[in-house]
Structure 1
């Protein structure tokens, strides 16, 4: 789970003209009457990471979380290979998983994806239900990543943690922590840093 300190840090809207007038940790996610409220943090995380089309995006939660985010699959990508974002993957947890934990179901879902689709990576999104239950997606992803020798990235952006914007930031944090700097590119250009 993401620490409160990290969430407070990410709530600092440096581009917001009135952010300096707010108390520390207070964000800009209060909707105004008549305006679209946007989506939850889970929605923002998916929208931000869907351009990684060579990766499978696995929703660890009830099937309805996958269905609620289906329209975000139109996110464009420049990837020319098999676009995994056009398929929906979920662990589809049920009442028993809520009571006894869904870690085994998550592990089995990752094994199934690797056996049948062989993606370059898997993003595993926590949802409100799995975050509240306390499923340890960090440990499950770490063990599965070692087992399958591909990055399996936990994305801690359960819907209740905040706005779509915060979800985008949490997705970026997951990429920075688990992908950036872990592998050298096959080729570089004069413009690469």
Structure 2
């Protein structure tokens, strides 16, 4: 442990962090609500700096400018994500649930529906599952998904539409079969 700490303290990223983290954190804190959010954004900024291959070749002022620009972009991303997926205090969520939704029968039915969905999703081709995961679990827009999977925004929209229609038809077919029995 001590040796790992010594190696980190002597690493270029540690030096970079010591020099710029306080300044970048102040910059971020002016634009985000909580200190925790600011620290998360700061971490993302320094991860981006590690991933940038020619970052070390930049001069000190250029490095700071680059870090501030990335920080700005990261907290904008955070704000956009918060608008698309707002967080609610636990007290509010508990008040939104009715007693019927908490009933054991409802919990079991919901679990069965989730299991059925997992089975049906597993039957889809990998590309369709990935598009669904990025859109609904990741909250990404079609353009962002396209960048990740190297497809155009239009192609992603088509994949998404066809996949949802396929799932809808599977559910419709199964409900009709269940009604005929």
Same fold by TM-score greater than 0.5: no
Mark the structure with the bigger radius of gyration. Answer: 2
Give me the TM-score of the superposition, normalised by structure 1. 0.22
Higher relative contact order (CA 8 A, sep 6+): 1
Structure number with the higher helix fraction is 2
Structure number with the higher strand fraction is 1
